[in-house]
Chains A and B, each alone.
Chain A
Amino acid sequence: MDLRRDIFQAIADPTRRAIITLLVAHAMTPGAIAANFDSTRQTISRHIQILAECELLTQQQNGREIYYHLNPQKMKIIADFIEPFRSMWDERFNKLETIMRQYKTKK
């Protein structure tokens, strides 16, 4: 298991978020992705590589071209990332309620 890259670090970058947004519509070749940006093709390739290393993108060879797709499983992790935070507080507050109800009856 390679945890070298953090998917949240990956999406912290505005260019990488823009690449993800582009790929929501359909799979694209690196050239087609780069055509949407003012940065050099090399810079965009680097961003694509980081997203691919985080498994946010998957590659598909189609003849001579490589197409990049979004990986829905990994995207779901991002969509759900607020849930662990919420359940952490929910557990704390449930505890608070239990403690204070006992406190009330003790009085």
Chain B
Amino acid sequence: MERKTKVHAEEGTQDILITREFDLPVELLFKAYTEPGIVAQWMGTKVLKLESKKHGAYEFETTDPQGNVLFRAHGTIHDIIPDQNIIRTFEMANAGFDVQTEFIRFEALTDDTSKLTIQSVFRSVACRDAQLKLPFAWGINMAHDRLQQITNALK
């Protein structure tokens, strides 16, 4: 069984395809996306709002120990079919990226295994690329901050 998360982002297209298979029944995989307390745990963010219903809204927020907001995102659920589909928008606040549409598909493979497929569609190729390189940019910033800390300590 292919356990690894796969990311497909073909050059010049404006979507990202993420696939992953889980050792979980599809009901539990779906629950992990719809129960606020569970989403908060694996996404590592506070869930301010999550209305898992058609036309429902959601809002996530991550703060550092001092209470500064590091990340805030929100969106609207366009459609939701239990154990099958969630179609929703996603937008990060103050990131300079446009809203994206996420087509999240839940599939049972066997009674105990399931597959998740997320297709995120962006407004442009540039927006897609910016989103993809975000963790990379954070990595650089983190390395830079560490370097700064080390050099500050030397002073």
Contact = CB atoms under 8 A, between A and B. Distances in A.
A70 to B, nearest CB: 18
A84 B135 contact: yes
Given A97-B23, A100-B31, A104-B24, A85 B38 contact: no
Nearest to B24: A100
A93 B147 CA distance: 30
A12 B133 CA distance: 12
Contact of A85 (B42, B44, B135): B135
Contacts, number: 76
B32 A96 contact: yes
Contacts of A37: none
Contacts of A93: 5, 20, 22, 42, 116
In order of increasing CB-CB distance, the 8 nearest A-B pairs are: A90-B5, A96-B42, A84-B135, A86-B7, A95-B42, A100-B28, A84-B136, A88-B135
A82 B7 contact: yes
A21 to B, nearest CB: 13
Nearest to A104: B28
Interface residues of A, number: 24
Contacts of A86: 5-7
Contacts of B20: 89-90, 93
Contact of B144 (A3, A6, A101): A3
Interface string A77-95: 0000110111111101101
Contacts of B116: 93
Contacts of B136: 8, 81, 84-85
A25 interface: no
B125 to A, nearest CB: 10
Contact of B44 (A81, A92, A103): A92
B43 A92 contact: yes
A97 B24 contact: yes
B132 interface: yes
Contacts of B4: 90
A12 B126 contact: yes
B5 A89 contact: yes
6 contacts: A12-B129, A84-B139, A85-B132, A86-B7, A100-B28, A101-B24
Interface string B9-45: 1000000001010111100110110000010011110
Nearest to A100: B28
